[in-house]
Chain A
Amino acid sequence: MFAHALNAYLQVQVPGVAERRITDIFKPMGTPGYAEREAALFTIGVTAVIFVVVAGLIVYTVWRFRRRPSDDSAQEPPQVYGSNQIEAAWTIIPILIVFVLIGVSARVIAGVENASPPPKALKVRLIGHQWWWEVQYPDYGIVTANEIHVPATPDGQRATYLELTSVDVIHSFWIPELAGKTDLIPNRVNYAWIDPRVPGVYVGNCAEYCGTQHAQMLLRVIADTPENFKTWTEQQQRPAENDPQVSDARNVFGSLACVNCHDIRGTPSVGKFGPDLTHLMSRRTLAAGVLVNDTKNLRAWVDDPQKAKPGCLMPSMKLNDQQLEQVVSYLQSLK
């Protein structure tokens, strides 16, 4: 199972949209990321200088004053007790350095945190669950899961503003190339914003320990060109596909307990506990970014979710082969 997932994962390259799997915080692609990198590089610069000076002094001291074998042991070196001027110097200089760093921090903190959403901003509500992400677009009436589509804009004119909360425990939203992290906390709404400059698939992990499968709660921000984004929203706004070819399969699905947890808009399946499945096939991955969304994985997942994600909250429904085939073929019709 894992071997298959591994190989398949390496092949997740939907044509035309590269997955940016190396998430280097020093190669950001959006404004908060740029601001944070600025603060970061400045701080690294200052601390690097301090390190070179102080470490150099330590190493020099050890080298110069180590006892040589030729040295006779009786004579003690001059007993120096201290020096007020030196103490003052190495107190005041660090305090000055600290004030500079405080200034830099204050400026960037205010810039990122106090930025208010411009009128054209896209609003997304991200709700954390154990161990998947619920994604809502209140202005469009769209609900999906684990993959957030946003428009990419070369000069950041159309940013995305996220409202973050959780239904259970604390999670954290972190797409390293786009912005620093913000926690998703139950009974509290936090705010974050991103503005990816280049289209692509930006990957991130949940960044706050949230239980057994914290490690496999991945998140993808898919930055589309404005045209692709429009197409995507229009497609997502439609109710679920009602393909007559799978009407039997749909009935089988409807008779199983799946409908209690999953919402498929336009059908009697209205559960809210699990991810929305209305347009499942429009997603690249399954199980919070853990499996490629292909037939083999989908079948294996529905058959026994505990194999790919032991401890996750979706039970194996113990379907027989026939039911499994029907369910999978119905799900695959939900484009």
Chain B
Amino acid sequence: MASIDYPLEHPKAEALTPEFSFSESLYKWVATVDHKRLGLMYVVSALVFLVIAGIMASVIRMQLAFPLNHVVGPDTFNRLFTMHGTTMVFLVGMPMVAGFSVYLIPLMIGTRDMAFPRLNAFGFWIFLLGGCLLYFSYIGGGGLSGDGSAPDVGWFAYAPLTEKAFSRGAATDYWALGVLLSGVGSIVTALNVIATTFCMRCPGMTLSRMPMFVWVMLIDAWLVLVALPPLSAAQIMLELDRHLGANFFDTQAGGSAVLWQHLFWIFGHPEVYILIFPAFAILSEVIPVFSRKPLFGRPAMVGAVTAIGFISLGVWAHHMFAIGMTSWSNTFFAASSMLVGVPTGIKIFNWTATMYGGKLRMQTPLLFCIAFLLQFLVAGLTGIMLAVAPFDWQLHDSYFVVAHFHFTLVGGLVFGLFAGMYYWFPKVSGKMLDEKLGKWHFWLFCIGFNMTFLTLHFAGFLGMPRRIYTYYPGRGWDAINLIASLGVIPQAAGILCFVWNIIRSSLRGIPAGDDPWDAWTLEWATTSPPPEYNFEKLPVVRSSRPLWDLKHPQDPDWKYE
């Protein structure tokens, strides 16, 4: 028999926060199970890792700015791109997924916390432990060629390069175990999101009235739940190979080098959708509010995101077109990969249609969304190019792929995340971010990003492979690489603007009030920042835009939905 099983309502909290000593404050953060604090910790950790991995990327671009450059040697370079990729995917992308989910979902569905608050805390701390374990490798590990250092096998860690014979030190183990632990954190958080979404919605909020953000993050959680275990399985198998002499990927014993690739990409492809979904979710909230119109085609958007949640499980071998699969397999995966582009395209059309006929407020959150639309369009189309297997046979493992996935992950995800951070910073902190600094951040970052990654497509066309620490002059790659490296400067400047904006606004920003953007979802119905219990009284809703209904009683949404 179903029953609602909330944590008990808090009595009305004291209006003024009493003074706490430093150790008491620290304890409150370390021992918290409050979804808002955990969400904030996730996002802050992700931003710290973003800066670290960004510095790594800058060193990579410095090394590649000129042919036969001497900024770093091959081993250091290989560690840099491995750690850059691993950090960005597992220690920036995944905590952003988790952080945005756990902070916003309870507020948006009108409840007081996640379904399993302690599990929420466990998920955060084990993610952080995994990240620290990965970085501990700099002191404790041993790479492909010996002493103490970080993994250098690529973020995708193909076997048999990762077997003990070719990766003698402990660096690969730090990679496998660090990411395995963080993966456990992601899985339990996904469980929490699903349980919260199904079981804790406020009265009247049927699934079809849930904010689009929550829908997208629900499907995201589903993908995490089914796609992370293959990675964990592969990493367990790798560790068994490395330490107990198992033969999963040991080609000398008849094992298959390709098995790793299948397992990894069965995880890896859904993973990239897992990573991009927060941007989809954020855009689905920001664009309507800044266009002053409801999201165009809500049912189609739900259908599209659900379709992606299932089709994306069947495209993985498009990462493996070059390994010599049969023409039937290659054709199948080419077909499925192109098909998954259709629901994604539908989303772009719907966001554009939301803006069409609206009154666009050209402020920082919307600027990031518009850049997302154009950049993700490019990314999606280069993705179609890669899905055409014969074209991929030339483009695979070249800088074209690097350009493509940076367009999806930076031009797409990071821009979407910035939009979300500018949009919800007032809710989280109670202060507005400075709009002028925001525009500087946007333009610097946008120009720098395109300088770097638009140009790199052409390096791929000219035959430049990936993961090389240097290249010879006269290949036609010199100018391209120089321009790409120069693009780091505006990007770094943009990030500095952002960090400065956050610091300055936290201390001296304009007070935001409950609802600075005149928005329509439930998180804006409480104070900024929300009290620990979220809402004095749990709301009852009748449509997908409860605040619109309150502000426009003559013309509420539930008349049309």
**Which stretch, B27-35, B188-196, B354-362, B499-507, touches the partner chain A?**
B354-362
Residue pair B474, A98 in contact (C-beta under 8 Å): no
**Chain B residue with the shortest CB-CB distance to A218:** B472
Cα A78 to Cα B341 with chains together (Å):
31
Question: 0/1 per residue, B346-360, Cβ < 8 Å to A?
Answer: 101110110111111
**Which stretch, A19-27, A117-125, A143-151, A262-270, touches the partner chain B?**
A19-27
**Chain A residue with the shortest CB-CB distance to B397:** A207
Cα A39 to Cα B392 with chains together (Å):
10
Query: Most chain-B CB neighbours within 10 Å: which of A9, A81, A190?
Result: A81
Instruction: Tell me the total A-B contact number using a CB cutoff of 8 A.
Output: 303
Is the CB of B373 closer than 8 A to any CB of chain A? yes
Is the CB of B526 closer than 8 A to any CB of chain A? no
Residue pair B74, A310 in contact (C-beta under 8 Å): yes
Q: Which residues of B from 457 to 490 have beta carbons under 8 Å from A?
A: 461-476
Is the CB of A271 closer than 8 A to any CB of chain B? no
Q: Contacts A40-B394, A212-B75 given: A62-B334 contact, CB under 8 Å?
A: no
Residue pair A94, B342 in contact (C-beta under 8 Å): yes
Residue pair B257, A39 in contact (C-beta under 8 Å): no
Contact of B391 among A32, A40, A207 (CB under 8 A): A40
Contact of A211 among B144, B323, B464, B472 (CB under 8 A): B144
Cα A86 to Cα B346 with chains together (Å):
10
Which B residues touch A256, using CB under 8 A?
A: none
Cα A170 to Cα B421 with chains together (Å):
41
Is the CB of A245 closer than 8 A to any CB of chain B? no
Q: How many residues of B contact A (CB 8 A)?
A: 102
Cα A26 to Cα B460 with chains together (Å):
11
Residue pair A181, B373 in contact (C-beta under 8 Å): no
Which A residues touch B397, using CB under 8 A?
A: 172, 174, 181, 207-209
Residue pair B341, A209 in contact (C-beta under 8 Å): no
Which B residues touch A233, using CB under 8 A?
A: none
Residue pair B297, A311 in contact (C-beta under 8 Å): no
Q: Which residues of A from 75 to 118 have beta carbons under 8 Å from B?
A: 76-83, 86-87, 90-91, 94-95, 98, 101-102, 104-106, 108-110, 112-114
Is the CB of A134 closer than 8 A to any CB of chain B? no
Is the CB of B229 closer than 8 A to any CB of chain A? no
Which A residues touch B353, using CB under 8 A?
A: 86
Cα A113 to Cα B325 with chains together (Å):
9
Residue pair A170, B161 in contact (C-beta under 8 Å): yes
Cα A66 to Cα B367 with chains together (Å):
11
B473 CB → nearest A CB, Å? 7
Residue pair B251, A186 in contact (C-beta under 8 Å): yes
Residue pair B324, A212 in contact (C-beta under 8 Å): no
Residue pair B390, A22 in contact (C-beta under 8 Å): no
Contact of B323 among A44, A61, A102, A183 (CB under 8 A): A183
Is the CB of B269 closer than 8 A to any CB of chain A? no
Residue pair B357, A77 in contact (C-beta under 8 Å): yes
Residue pair A67, B362 in contact (C-beta under 8 Å): yes
Which B residues touch A164, using CB under 8 A?
A: 324
Q: Contacts A44-B385, A105-B389 given: A187-B255 contact, CB under 8 Å?
A: yes
Q: How many residues of A contact B (CB 8 A)?
A: 96
Contact of B331 among A36, A90, A109, A174 (CB under 8 A): A109
Q: Which residues of A from 204 to 254 have beta carbons under 8 Å from B?
A: 204-216
Contact of A181 among B144, B252, B396 (CB under 8 A): B396
Is the CB of B300 closer than 8 A to any CB of chain A? yes
Residue pair B473, A188 in contact (C-beta under 8 Å): no
**Which stretch, A51-59, A297-305, A325-333, touches the partner chain B?**
A51-59
Q: Contacts A55-B374, A214-B468 given: A82-B391 contact, CB under 8 Å?
A: no
Contact of B360 among A40, A59, A62, A109 (CB under 8 A): A62
Is the CB of A47 closer than 8 A to any CB of chain B? yes
B76 CB → nearest A CB, Å? 10
**Chain B residue with the shortest CB-CB distance to A311:** B145
Cα A176 to Cα B373 with chains together (Å):
32
Residue pair B296, A40 in contact (C-beta under 8 Å): no
Which A residues touch B199, using CB under 8 A?
A: none
Which B residues touch A215, using CB under 8 A?
A: 74, 467-471
Q: Contacts A66-B362, A87-B346, A180-B390 given: A190-B323 contact, CB under 8 Å?
A: yes
Cα A101 to Cα B257 with chains together (Å):
31
Is the CB of A282 closer than 8 A to any CB of chain B? no
**Which stretch, B39-47, B175-183, B210-218, B286-294, touches the partner chain A?**
B286-294
Residue pair B160, A168 in contact (C-beta under 8 Å): yes
Is the CB of A259 closer than 8 A to any CB of chain B? no
Q: Contacts A9-B474, A186-B160 given: A51-B357 contact, CB under 8 Å?
A: no
Nearest first, the 7 closest Cβ-Cβ pairs linking A and B are: A180-B393, A215-B468, A23-B463, A187-B251, A190-B324, A176-B463, A82-B297
* 23 CB < 8 A contacts A-B: A22-B474, A25-B394, A36-B390, A39-B391, A58-B352, A67-B359, A77-B359, A79-B294, A94-B342, A98-B341, A105-B389, A109-B327, A168-B166, A170-B160, A174-B397, A181-B393, A187-B252, A191-B324, A207-B396, A207-B465, A211-B166, A311-B75, A311-B144
Q: Which residues of A contact B (CB under 8 A)?
A: 2, 5-6, 9-10, 21-26, 32-33, 35-36, 39-40, 43-44, 46-47, 50-51, 54-55, 57-59, 61-62, 65-67, 71, 76-83, 86-87, 90-91, 94-95, 98, 101-102, 104-106, 108-110, 112-114, 130, 164, 168-170, 172, 174, 176-177, 179-183, 185-188, 190-191, 203-216, 310-311
Give 14 A-B pairs besides A77-B357, A164-B324, A168-B160 with Cβ atoms closer than 8 angstroms: A6-B68, A21-B472, A77-B293, A91-B300, A98-B342, A105-B390, A170-B158, A174-B397, A181-B393, A181-B394, A185-B257, A187-B257, A208-B322, A212-B74
